[in-house]
Amino acid sequence: MKRSLLIIFLVLITSTCLIIGCDLFNSDNDTEEEYFLVFEIEADSYYDLGYAIGQRFSVQINESINRQADFLAMIETIISIDSVYFYENLLANAEAAFPDYVDEIRGTSDATGIDFEILMRCNLFGDILALFLGSQEYSDIDIPESPLGCSTVSYNYNGNQYLAHNEDGFASLHDLMGVIKVSMPGKPEFINFYYPGLLCGIAPSVTDVGLAFSGNHIQSANGDPNGVPHLFIFRSLLEAESVDEAISIIENTLTCNYLHINIASGIENRIVSVEKAETTSVVYEVEGLYAHTNHFIQDAMLGFPTDDDDTTHERYDILTALIETYNDQLENVNCDVLYDFLCEVAAEPDTTGGITGGMTLGTSIFNMETGNWELFFNDPRDNLSQNLHF
């Protein structure tokens, strides 16, 4: 009897140690500090989802609009030149392709009291700029340098997949970003690093079907007026059930502005990089280490006119040089290595002309094996992070 009790005791102790050991990467949410507010939503409709987001983030969304007043005034000036070409047609294209997501924005508008057209302009800004840059007859409006300088490193080797991403954007948003965890009937649940006032899915996201997404803004200098506004494509990916379904959405949707999207799946042991312009797309299957910033890399895409961020090539060169140091030791790459890479290209606002015109709003490290997402608050070098998972 004593021997049996001893065996049971040892088994319990061993099991407890194994459980604790396996959970080291996933922090205890009860004791972990939230640098970004996490808001969980269960919604029956897209309008209800947008309304719930608007209710909870009303202060942040209104403040975001106020802080970006100069930028939005520039967008309004462009629209005033030809409201049909620069706004109404884009809205019609969005409603034709993705009416549910337009309803989502309407819900947010009603909850916040912000005029629907103002919120829609925010969600169309890259496409409006793309159309404007392609219109040679308009040249008297000063377009400021884009601060959207995101950097990505992905890793797929020996059954392990990591996706690491610096989300760089307007410095004015540094204390307004949040995290949304969404559940809707019949749709994958998702967690999204949320830009106040924009559709979900723009910044990094993960879904409960094992897909992680991040995007790199690529500004077209010749938008297609018949195309769908590109942020609506980002939103639609959150409902994909597989990597191939996500790729199909991108490939089969005519886009106004250009885009680049990283898609990772630990279930499928796969990471892809997808570059898209109008009807042309290139899917690159990541093997080993791979970097992407804010310009096209694939040969088939280089002929499309872009208005590149001044730092995109510099950041890309830094990352590719770091990657080269691991070419013969890929087995030694882990999430800490990718974190170090992104610290080298992270940025805070710098009026003297830092490495990007904006700042790093958050850094994401997705470990697709564990299903954990470590999200760093603003500059990752400050080492303030929280863990997100289903």
Residue 353 pLDDT class (50, 70, 90 cuts):
very low
CATH class in words for 151-388: alpha beta
Yes or no: say if 289 and 326 are a contact pair by the CB < 8 Å rule: yes
Q: Residue ranges per domain, the chain?
A: 43-133, 151-388
Backbone region of residue 338 per phi and psi (left: phi > 0; alpha: psi in -120 to 50; beta: other values): alpha
* Radius of gyration of the chain, Cα coordinates, nearest whole angstrom: 22
Kindly tell me the burial class for residue 254, based on how many C-beta atoms sit within 10 Å of its own C-beta (0-12, 13-18, 19 or more): middle
pLDDT digits (tens, 9 = 90+) for 181-234: 999 999 999 999 999 999 999 999 999 999 999 999 999 999 999 999 999 999
Spell out the residues 6+ positions from residue 227 whose beta carbon is closer than 8 angstroms to its own: 93, 127, 254, 255, 256, 257, 278
**Residue 35 pLDDT greater than 70, yes or no:** yes
DSSP 45-114: SHHHHHHHHHHHTHHHHHHHHHHTHHHHHHHHHHHHH-HIIIIIHHHHHHHHH-HHHHHHHHHHHHHHT-
Q: What predicted TM-score, i.e. pTM, was given to this entire model?
A: 0.90
Task: Give 175 or 30, the one with higher predicted confidence.
Answer: 175
Indicate the average pLDDT of the chain. Answer: 90
Task: Give 388 or 143, the one with higher predicted confidence.
Answer: 388
Residues 100, 95: Cα–Cα separation, whole Å: 8
Quote the pLDDT of residue 15.
39
Give the residue among 246, 215, 193 at the shortest CA–CA distance from 388: 193
Quote the pLDDT of residue 355.
42
pLDDT digits (tens, 9 = 90+) for 131-182: 999 997 766 777 766 666 799 999 999 999 999 999 999 888 999 999 999 9
pLDDT digits (tens, 9 = 90+) for 310-350: 899 999 999 999 999 999 999 999 999 999 999 999 987 65
Residue 298 pLDDT class (50, 70, 90 cuts):
very high
- Residue 166: how many other CB atoms lie within 10 Å: 31
**Residue 1 pLDDT greater than 50, yes or no:** no
Instruction: Return the percentage of the chain with pLDDT > 70, whole number.
Output: 88
Instruction: Return the percentage of the chain with pLDDT > 90, whole number.
Output: 82
Give the residue among 276, 289, 150 at the shortest CA–CA distance from 216: 150
DSSP 353-387: T-SSSSEEEEEEEEETTTTEEEEEESSGGG--EEE
Mean pLDDT for the stretch of residues 285-296: 98
Mean pLDDT for the stretch of residues 6-22: 36
Quote the pLDDT of residue 64.
95
**Residue 286 pLDDT greater than 50, yes or no:** yes
**Residue 23 pLDDT greater than 60, yes or no:** no
pLDDT digits (tens, 9 = 90+) for 250-261: 999 999 999 999
Quote the pLDDT of residue 374.
99
